[in-house]
Structure 1
Amino acid sequence: MFSIVKCLRGPGGSLNFDYYAYTAIVKTRTTDLLCGGAIIAPRWVITAANCVPRNDRSYYQIKCGSQHLKDTDDVIVANVIQVYRHPHYDPANQNNNNIALLHLDTVVDREPCQSIKLARSFPEINQDKKISVDFSGWGSIDKSSEPKPSDIIRRFAANILKQNDCQNRHQNKPIFVNNFCTSLPGYDPNFIYGACAKDNGDPIVVKRFPNITLIGINSENGCNTFEFPEINTNVLAYRPWIRDTTKLIL
């Protein structure tokens, strides 16, 4: 059993890594962290397309199995044998189709890691009921000119915004149909709130214990810019592409 660590990325509670063992580190052989990702099958990880711009498949690795970023004991490290960026991803419009699949050379859906299922449907958003989701990852917890990743996995909770509310707060950039935005329920200047540097690709889940299901990955974040919500990719909108690419039954 992993230890419980205090959450320092936002409001509330403790973090039991057992609940977040689907969270993967996207890295290279020489760097500890590029982005986050989610294990969705024995040899598949989903992440953001802007995290894996290179076609050199031998460049990327996946690590999972520890709450500590730099752990080398009792973790699983897998090589990426194929990168599948969405065919309509355009770096000039980063948040449109910002999704990628990584095919691995070894099984990662085993102890101490685990996979997560895609949700059956996206939560219904209305004015009377707030939908809370959870982010997890090792992104930066400082706002320096050269932000460093966290040494330990962090999580935070956020509420899903209605699409028009999100667009109103991001007036200078388009919010695409397959995006959704999240906003934090409160603000405290003593915390780095929300997603930050190297949190792209972090899994976004809905928790209905004992079930935890994946609905999105982070696409763009404001790193404590409270007035601008995170922009995320709705992975459920890409279920047919994921199924066709991986040959998985989802």
Structure 2
Amino acid sequence: MYGGELISENKDFPWVVLILGQISRTYSKMCSGSVIAPRWVLTAAHCMMNGEQNIPINMLTIDVYYRLNAFKRYEVETAYKHPKFSFGKKDMQDLGLIRTRYAIESTSVGVVWTSIKYPNSSCTILGYGLKGRVTKNETHVPSLSKIKVNLLPINMCQSFYTMDNPLICLFVVDGMGPCTGDSGSPMICENKIVGVCSRAVFGNSKTACGVYDVAVILYQRIDADWIHSMIAGEYSSHDVRAAGILSLTLPLICILMMIW
């Protein structure tokens, strides 16, 4: 998160993870995600793609950080994009689920929002994206950071989406917000995940985070029914309740910049 507060000891959000998609020997696409069940990570569908092409499953990994430079890597077994996902379309459902080969060792999981109401309180966004400027000769060291934000009112946000694809909108000034690597990261309101970072609508500049003057960041609302249908059969009712996904009834939205 550009300009965000660094989380050096990840005790409060151990379920927020880094997703890497190897594109070449020297370059990997970087996204963020949320562990919502022992083997399931919620993220943005476009995080599984290199442009319009799918990233091979064996090129995807999940890194769970415990503190700076200390993490455990998990291989990916399968990955799913929302059935209504359509790359580059205004009404795309930019949601994805990744299933790891083995259960993720985490003390907790993210709990998904279950209300159909548009969040109206102050919320927190967090991810492993760039926290500041990185020059060509520097190497980005992944670190979790967070920012407290206020959401655009629903009547202003509605101009950016269709009824079939509701979004949550965040107004950003001076680039203080999601950056490269924050796609798929969660927005948390009232201690629940209400959406995943999807894309941005830029103001009078279309350059990288920290450079544009103003922007509206779009978070894709969660489709609780879809998540439940994908995950519930794998666990007992107790396990699913513990993961906070048994009675999900809400499509939530978290907008994310497609900058990677």
In the superposition, the TM-score normalised over structure 1's length comes to 0.74
Displacement, 1:151?
A: 3.8
Distance 1:164 1:99 in 2: 23
- Taking structure 1 as reference, are residues 242 and 65 closer, same or farther at Cα in structure 2, changes over 3 Å only? same
Amino acid at match of 2:20: K
Distance 1:244 1:153 in 2: 30
Counterpart among 119, 123, 127 of residue 133 in structure 1: 123
- Taking structure 1 as reference, are residues 175 and 143 closer, same or farther at Cα in structure 2, changes over 3 Å only? farther
Does structure 1 residue 181 correspond to structure 2 residue 169?
A: yes
After superposition, the C-alpha distances for 1:111-133 in whole angstroms (9 at most, x for unaligned) are 5xx311112215545xxxx5111
Displacement, 1:137?
A: 1.2
Which stretch has the larger CA shift, 140-149 or 222-231?
Answer: 140-149
Matched-pair identity in %: 18
Distance 1:16 1:145 in 2: 26
Counterpart among 180, 184, 187 of residue 204 in structure 1: 187
Distance 1:243 1:61 in 2: 23
Q: In the alignment, which residue of structure 2 is the partner of 1:120?
A: 114
Number of positions where the alignment pairs a residue of Structure 1 with one of Structure 2 = 219
Amino acid at match of 1:138: Y
Does structure 1 residue 166 correspond to structure 2 residue 157?
A: yes
Q: In the alignment, which residue of structure 1 is the partner of 2:64?
A: 64
- Taking structure 1 as reference, are residues 137 and 49 closer, same or farther at Cα in structure 2, changes over 3 Å only? same
After superposition, the C-alpha distances for 1:7-34 in whole angstroms (9 at most, x for unaligned) are 9724x79776211211110014666661
After superposition, the C-alpha distances for 1:65-97 in whole angstroms (9 at most, x for unaligned) are 3343xx2x4x22111110100111111216620
**Superposition RMSD on alpha carbons, in Å?**
3.1
- Taking structure 1 as reference, are residues 178 and 109 closer, same or farther at Cα in structure 2, changes over 3 Å only? farther
- Taking structure 1 as reference, are residues 15 and 230 closer, same or farther at Cα in structure 2, changes over 3 Å only? farther
Equivalent runs, 1:187-226 vs 2, <5 Å:
187=173, 192-207=175-190, 212-221=191-200, 223-224=209-210, 225-226=212-213
Any unmatched runs of 5+ in structure 2? 203-208, 246-260
- Taking structure 1 as reference, are residues 183 and 177 closer, same or farther at Cα in structure 2, changes over 3 Å only? same
1:139–1:150: 8 Å Cα contact kept in structure 2? no
Any unmatched runs of 5+ in structure 1? 1-6
Equivalent runs, 1:11-90 vs 2, <5 Å:
17-28=10-21, 34-53=30-49, 54=54, 56-68=56-68, 71=69, 73=70, 75-90=71-86
**What's the secondary structure of 2:180's corresponding residue?**
coil
Distance 2:169 2:31 in 1: 19
Q: In the alignment, which residue of structure 2 is the partner of 1:3?
A: none
2:123–2:148: 8 Å Cα contact kept in structure 1? yes
Distance 1:76 1:89 in 2: 30
Amino acid at match of 2:83: P
Does structure 1 residue 243 correspond to structure 2 residue 234?
A: no
Amino acid at match of 1:243: H
Distance 1:15 1:176 in 2: 39
Distance 1:45 1:234 in 2: 15
Distance 2:57 2:195 in 1: 24
Q: In the alignment, which residue of structure 1 is the partner of 2:254?
A: none
In the superposition, the TM-score normalised over structure 2's length comes to 0.72
Displacement, 1:227?
A: 2.6
Displacement, 1:178?
A: 2.2
- Taking structure 1 as reference, are residues 232 and 95 closer, same or farther at Cα in structure 2, changes over 3 Å only? farther
Distance 2:12 2:224 in 1: 23
